[in-house]
Amino acid sequence: MAKNPGKGRCVHCLKEVPERNWDHVFPKSWYPDTTPQNLEKWQIPSCIRCNRKYGKIEEDLIGRFAVALDSKNPASAGLVETAIRAIDPAAGRDDRDAAARLAKQRKFLADMYKGEEIAGAQVMPGLGERWGRPLAQQLAIKIPGEKLMAMTRKIVRGHVYLDNKTFIVPPYKIECYLAEDEKVKVVKELLDKHGKEYKREPGLVIRRAPVEGDPLTALYEITFWDQFRTYAIVSTGKALPRLSPRQRRALKRAQLNAWLQRRARKQGRPKARARSQVK
């Protein structure tokens, strides 16, 4: 995919633009070291502006997630190390690069919390303490909820484009959620039964349960590095007549988890607990 896609519609902002380039659905830097060399990294046509905008979001998020991921999990192999190098001035190519790394380090450190500061904070499902440390030794880093939801929307748009070369245009919209596994059991059953898996192994997985007779309406689950998930519903927002009562209940249940987002907005950003590798 070396050649740029040229003029056309941007998958993200839907504008017709004179120039586009390839945007990675799962960011290139989010693939772990364990990714097979010959694995095709999904790409979609994006306007230059959206590509740049998402590039910034992706860089910020991976820096934060990486310190909260399990460095022993093959699905996120190498990401912790790469993120730490990215904020290490000593790894800089020159003075300017070293200064940029230091600035990033300061930004992340300002968003980190320790011990008692974490108590009572909202913890991202899947990214809580997994190393059995007492609270006093735990560290947490802020994960900007809006950025995570922007990434979820981006991946859903990208997947729809890859799957059938279509765009998600109004009245269709994408609603995104964070939810604890046990609170979305019915949603999971629905995905187990009707969902199709699209994998970029190890660890990056999209599951999509479509609604019969409607090419766009679907429930999505995106798994990141085998460690946490986001959910999305693509629909017109109106009643979904083709859904069985059971499916409708499942969707409603998932929508209830929007409280997580609203709460996050009200109480500040959700925090993910992180390993204490960044000093």
CB of 158 vs Zn ion, minimal distance in Å: 12
**50 versus 176: smaller Cβ distance to Zn ion:** 50
Q: What is the closest distance, in whole angstroms, from the C-beta atom of residue 16 to Zn ion in the complex?
A: 10
Instruction: Look at residues 30, 69, 27, 60 and name the one whose alpha carbon lies nearest to residue 44.
Output: 27
Using CB under 5 A as the binding rule, whether residue 169 contacts Zn ion is answered as no
Q: How far apart are CA 112 and CA 272, in angstroms?
A: 10
Q: Smaller CB distance to Zn ion: residue 12 or 154?
A: 12
Q: Establish if 168 lies at the interface with Zn ion (CB under 5 A).
A: no
- Measure the CA dihedral 246/247/252/257, to 10°: 110
Q: Compute the least distance from the CB of residue 185 to Zn ion, in Å.
A: 37
Stretch that binds Zn ion, among 5-13, 25-33, 71-79, 222-230 (CB under 5 A): 5-13
Please report whether residue 50 would count as binding Zn ion according to CB under 5 A: yes
Q: Using CB under 5 A, which of the segments 13-21, 88-96, 166-174, 195-203 binds Zn ion? A: 13-21
Work out which of 25, 44, 47, 209 binds Zn ion, going by CB under 5 A.
47
Whether 47 contacts 35, CB under 8 Å? no
Considering beta carbons, is residue 142 or 157 the nearer one to Zn ion? 157
- What is the nearest approach in angstroms of Zn ion to the Cβ of residue 12? 5
Please, how many CA atoms are within 13 Å of residue 12, restricted to the half-sphere of its CB?
25
Is residue 10 a contact point for Zn ion (CB under 5 A)?
yes
What single-letter DSSP state applies at residue 263? H
Nearer to Zn ion, 16 or 181 (CB): 16
DSSP state string for 142-160 = E--HHHHHHHHHHHHHHHH
Q: Least separation, in Å, of the C-beta of 149 and Zn ion?
A: 17
* 150 near Zn ion (CB under 5 A): no
CA distance linking residue 174 with residue 172, whole number of Å: 7
The sign one gets for the Cα dihedral 121, 223, 71, 92 is negative
Sign (positive/negative) of CA torsion 209, 163, 77, 231?
negative
**Residues of the shown chain interacting with Zn ion in the complex, contacts defined by CB under 5 A:** 10, 12-13, 47, 50
